[in-house]
């Protein structure tokens, strides 16, 4: 019994140590700051009489107001940054088919081709295409994300195949990377009609009108899937 | 454990709530990766920290001589 308890304790310790080892430096910094703040708050909780002195009052102000606000701000920034990750987007069950569509073994599937060939950073694949590259676009994307989470946890989320974009996909998001790229500017199809490139750049002709298969979640059952890099 | 002095008791209460909120936030940062971690960080951790700060500020206002 005693040994089993110790084994569980050791397992928990190694689990925590493993988690700490895999954390980014910024997260370690924020967690350390939170830990330090908790220790200082404990001084006020267990020895409240220290607040009778001038130094104690300053300590109370620091650890009961300033440091918690700093911790929450830094932690919040870290969490917001984490919300840009592919893993974060796919953590909602409803997004699973979209995640699966990134592994479709068909180069005509736009999202899959971008993901598998690292044309977008694989760990921020969703955000890279679905953010908005206009002014305050990142902020707008994050507010939309908060709205999605609210609907997912407190509302009635639609079926995966019924999910639609708020507005038609703007070429600006594609041109953020493709504008100026040789394959785009000098591509045979893009230059066949001299009016096409200016129309694409002015968002008068949508990129999606030709590259129409993006996330085809309705036909996933008929697709073959890439197993991923070894 | 709580002090008999009203001001000190409020500070202790504020500290306990803040510690709980910060522990929740630290756990979310260490263990959470998905949307659930974010929700717990913001809704539970954030709420506890905000309540703790408000209790501290109320204790300051209540301590002002009338």
**Which of A19, A52, A68 to mutate: most B Cβ within 10 Å?**
A68
Closest A-chain CA to B14: A64
Helical packing angle, B6-31 and A67-82, nearest 10°: 20
Contacts of residue A27, defined as CB under 8 A and 6 or more positions apart, other chains included, come to: A78, B29, B30
- In the prediction, which pLDDT does A91 show? 92
- In the prediction, which pLDDT does A1 show? 46
Q: Is the model's pLDDT at A227 over the cut of 60?
A: yes
Q: Is the model's pLDDT at A75 over the cut of 90?
A: yes
A14-32: average pLDDT = 75
Q: What is the pTM of this model?
A: 0.80
Q: Is the model's pLDDT at B14 over the cut of 60?
A: yes
- % residues pLDDT > 70 (chain A): 90
What does each C-alpha distance from A84 to A41, A94, A118 come to in angstroms? 32, 17, 16
Burial degree of B52 (CB within 10 A; 0-12, 13-18, 19+) = buried
- In the prediction, which pLDDT does A15 show? 61
Residue A107 DSSP code: T
pLDDT band at residue A161 under the 50/70/90 scheme = confident
A109-123: average pLDDT = 95
Q: How far is CA B29 from the centre of its chain?
A: 17
Min Cα–Cα distance to chain A from B47, Å? 11
Predicted confidence (pLDDT) per residue in A132-148, tens digit? 898 888 888 888 988 99
Subunit contact A20:B16, Cβ cutoff 8 A: no
How open is the CA angle B26-B31-B37, to the nearest 5 degrees?
A: 80
Nearest to B23 among A19, A38, A45 (CB): A38
ipTM, 2 dp: 0.93
Q: A225 in helix, strand or coil? A: strand
Predicted confidence (pLDDT) per residue in A104-115, tens digit? 999 999 999 999
Residue of A163, A135, A131 lying closest to A144 (CA atoms): A131
- % residues pLDDT > 90 (chain A): 71
Give the residues across from A225 on adjacent strands.
A104
Query: Which long-range contacts link A203-209 to residues 24+ away (Cβ below 8 Å)?
Result: A203/A170, A203/A171, A203/A172, A206/A168, A206/A169, A206/A171, A207/A169, A207/A171, A207/A174, A208/A168, A208/A169
Subunit contact A76:B22, Cβ cutoff 8 A: no
- Report the mean per-residue pLDDT for chain A: 90
A20-31: average pLDDT = 81
Nearest to A51 among B8, B30, B35 (CB): B8
A73-84: average pLDDT = 93
Subunit contact B8:A48, Cβ cutoff 8 A: yes
Predicted confidence (pLDDT) per residue in A173-219, tens digit? 999 999 999 999 999 999 999 999 999 999 999 999 999 999 999 89
Q: Is the model's pLDDT at A21 over the cut of 70?
A: no
For chain B, the structural domain boundaries read 7-62
- In the prediction, which pLDDT does B48 show? 97
A158-184: average pLDDT = 93
Min Cα–Cα distance to chain B from A91, Å? 5
Min Cα–Cα distance to chain B from A34, Å? 6
Q: Is the model's pLDDT at A86 over the cut of 70?
A: yes
- A142 contacts A80 by C-beta, under 8 angstroms: yes
What does each C-alpha distance from A2 to A5, A9, A16, A176 come to in angstroms? 5, 11, 21, 61
Subunit contact A64:B9, Cβ cutoff 8 A: no
A156-181: average pLDDT = 92
- In the prediction, which pLDDT does A230 show? 64
In A, which residues are within 8 Å of B49 by CB distance? Answer: 68, 71-72
């Amino acid at each position: 019994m005693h040994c089993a308890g110790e084994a569980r304790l050791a397992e928990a310790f190694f689990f925590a140590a493993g988690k700490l080892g895999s954390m980014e430096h910024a997260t370690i910094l924020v967690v350390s700051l939170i830990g330090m703040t908790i220790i200082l708050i404990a001084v006020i909780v267990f020895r409240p009489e220290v607040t009778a002195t001038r130094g104690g009052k300053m300590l109370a102000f620091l650890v009961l107001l300033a440091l918690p606000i700093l911790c929450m701000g830094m932690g919040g920034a870290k969490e917001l940054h984490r919300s840009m990750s592919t893993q974060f987007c796919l953590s909602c069950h409803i997004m699973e088919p979209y995640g699966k569509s990134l592994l479709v073994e068909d180069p005509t599937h736009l999202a899959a081709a971008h993901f598998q060939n690292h044309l977008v950073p694989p760990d921020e694949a969703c955000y890279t295409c679905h953010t908005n590259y206009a002014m305050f676009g990142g902020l707008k994307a994050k507010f939309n994300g908060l709205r999605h989470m609210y609907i997912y946890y407190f509302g009635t989320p639609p079926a995966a195949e019924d999910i639609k974009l708020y507005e038609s996909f703007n070429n600006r998001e594609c041109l953020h990377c493709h504008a100026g790229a040789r394959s785009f500017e000098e591509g045979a199809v893009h230059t066949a009609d001299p009016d096409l490139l200016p129309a694409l750049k002015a968002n008068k002709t949508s990129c999606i009108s030709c590259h129409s298969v993006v996330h085809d979640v309705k036909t996933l059952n008929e697709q073959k899937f890439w197993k991923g890099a070894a | 454990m709580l002090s008999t002095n009203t001001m000190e008791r409020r500070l202790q209460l504020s500290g306990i709530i803040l510690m709980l909120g910060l522990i929740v936030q630290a756990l979310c940062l260490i263990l959470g990766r998905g949307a659930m971690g974010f929700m717990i960080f913001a809704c539970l951790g954030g709420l506890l920290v905000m309540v703790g700060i408000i209790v501290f500020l109320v204790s300051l206002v209540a301590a002002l001589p009338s």
